[in-house]
Amino acid sequence: MIRALFLTLALSAPARSQGAADSQMLNLSCVEALASIDEARLAGVFSFVPEKDSPTAFADLIARDQKAMKRYLKKLDRDVKQAGGVSEWDHQVVVAAVSLYGSPMASMLPKQKPATIEHLATLAQAPAMSLQELTAKRGGQR
Which stretch of 18-27, 59-68, 70-79, 116-125 has the lowest confidence by average pLDDT? Answer: 18-27
Cβ neighbours of 104 (radius 10 Å): 6
pLDDT at position 26: 85
Identify the sign of the CA torsion 127, 36, 45, 120.
Answer: negative
Tell me, what's the pLDDT at 142?
Answer: 47
Taking the C-alpha atoms of residue 91 and residue 123, their distance in angstroms, rounded to an integer, is: 8
Tens digits of residue pLDDT in 62-76: 999 999 999 999 999
Integer Cα distance of 107 and 122 in angstroms: 22
* 77 Cβ neighbours under 8 A, 6+ residues apart: 123
